[in-house]
Amino acid sequence: MGVATVSSSPTSPSGGHLKRPGEVELLLRKGALVRRRLVILVGHGVLLAVAAASAAAILFVFYSIARDAVPFFRVRGFAEFFTGTRWYPSAHPPAFGAVPLFVGSALVTLGASLVALPLGVAVAVCLSDVIPFAVRQWAKPMLEILAAIPSVAYGFFALVVLAPLLQERGGPMLALAAWLVGAPLAALGVYVAGSSLVMRLPARWRPWVRPLVFALLAVGAVLGLAYISGRLKMVIVSSGTNALNVSIILGIMALPTVASVSEDALRATGREIREASYALGATRAETMVRAVIPAAASGICAAVMLGIMRVLGETMVVWMASGNAAQIPSPWYNLLAPVRTVTATIAGDMGEADHMTGSERYHVLFALALLLLTIAFVLNLLSEWALRRARRGGH
């Protein structure tokens, strides 16, 4: 009680008429005042120090990784690491060409993006504008659970469930997937293309040309799909642990990130833009595609970058299920080839390089980590910038 009086009195202008006997004494206890000031100052200082330290941690991580990466570049230079295509760190003489690893990471990231981006954005649109609130309350925790499952559990699933499945019935599964994805798309495409074709014809031809055009297009689409799925069915998956397997799983893992960040961005655009568009007579699809999604574009970009970051930095799934072959697939887009990513290399090789601190094998892993860290840093800055833009655009 006394302390409170002391601290408030000097600053409070109304303290004068509340003076009671005894307060003067309290005010005069300078020692207490000084001590209190000191406590505040120290507390403030400690908080500042802790905050600054936790922010500086990233710099320190950078420094630590870079310090162990530099010896590698000093001895071997940059050329081999960034352009070499042979990765044989334990051979004599060793080869440290990291291009196969970069290609592996890029291929897996590309494959996962093909899964996660369309699906993620579609889910985000669905969550923000399509489904009713009650359903949304159920769908959101689903995303959170998907994001919470540990990566090693995904890796185990990829290795023990998905890989044997792909290896034994890879071709038929791919064909089925082609039909499942292709059929609705083809139906839609046929309708749109047919209608717009028919629209260009003179009005008196339309009634009898229309069924003809539609039938032709439909037959063409079915034949095309049958051809594609037939080709896919013939595909022999020689090993279930390959880039395709990993891409699917990583896509599922990145999905929650992409979906929830995009959804936030879509919501942040606000009601006015939607209402304006509806008032002009646009349908929901037109509103979303022409007005809301462009307005939320920078937020969705941020979501994409965060998703890519998640995929690029993921270790356990790729380590367990990518096949770990440090070679460039031929052709480069061959998702059925086993690949080896940067992260899996760090995880896998450090076990062997563990006790050889100071060897090139040890330091080259830090060089890889430094590269990874730099990419993550740049992507993060970009996504941060995009998010800030999105926030400013939303208001």
Residues 111-130 that bind other proteins (CB under 8 A): 118-119, 122-123, 125-127, 130
Q: Is 154 in the site for other proteins (CB under 8 A)?
A: yes
Q: Is 173 in the site for other proteins (CB under 8 A)?
A: no
What six digits make up the tokens of 64? Answer: 């630590």
39 SS3 class: helix
Residue 163 Cβ vs other proteins, minimum distance, rounded to whole Å: 11
Output the CA torsion sign for 338, 340, 344, 350: positive
- Please select the residue that binds other proteins; options are 110, 139, 228, 235, rule is CB under 8 A: 139
Residue 104: alpha-carbon gap to chain centroid: 17
CB of 166 or CB of 373, closer to other proteins: 373
33 SS3 class: helix
What six digits make up the tokens of 142? Answer: 């689903």
Q: Is 34 in the site for other proteins (CB under 8 A)?
A: no
Segment 252 to 271, residues that bind other proteins, using CB under 8 A: 252, 255, 259
Kindly indicate which of the ranges 168-176, 187-195, 213-221, 291-299 contains the residues binding other proteins, using the contact rule CB under 8 A.
Answer: 187-195
Residue 215 Cβ vs other proteins, minimum distance, rounded to whole Å: 18
Q: Is 50 in the site for other proteins (CB under 8 A)?
A: yes
Q: Is 78 in the site for other proteins (CB under 8 A)?
A: no
Segment 359 to 378, residues that bind other proteins, using CB under 8 A: 365-366, 369, 372-373, 376-377
Instruction: Give the integer Cα–Cα distance in Å for 107 and 277.
Output: 39
DSSP labels, 174-224? HHHHHHHHHHHHHHHHHHHHHHHHHHHS-TTTHHHHHHHHHHHHHHHHHHH
Instruction: Give the integer Cα–Cα distance in Å for 168 and 110.
Output: 25
Q: Angle 76-81-82 (CA atoms, 0-180°, nearest 5)?
A: 135
- Please select the residue that binds other proteins; options are 343, 361, 386, 390, rule is CB under 8 A: 343
Contacts of 337 (CB under 8 A, 6+ apart): 242, 243, 323, 325, 327, 329, 330
Kindly indicate which of the ranges 87-95, 203-211, 213-221, 339-347 contains the residues binding other proteins, using the contact rule CB under 8 A.
Answer: 339-347
- Please select the residue that binds other proteins; options are 152, 212, 215, 223, rule is CB under 8 A: 152
Residue 92 Cβ vs other proteins, minimum distance, rounded to whole Å: 25
Contact 26, 6 (CB under 8 A): yes
Q: Is 98 in the site for other proteins (CB under 8 A)?
A: no
Residue 391: alpha-carbon gap to chain centroid: 19
Q: Is 47 in the site for other proteins (CB under 8 A)?
A: yes
Residue 160 Cβ vs other proteins, minimum distance, rounded to whole Å: 6
- Please select the residue that binds other proteins; options are 247, 319, 328, 329, rule is CB under 8 A: 319
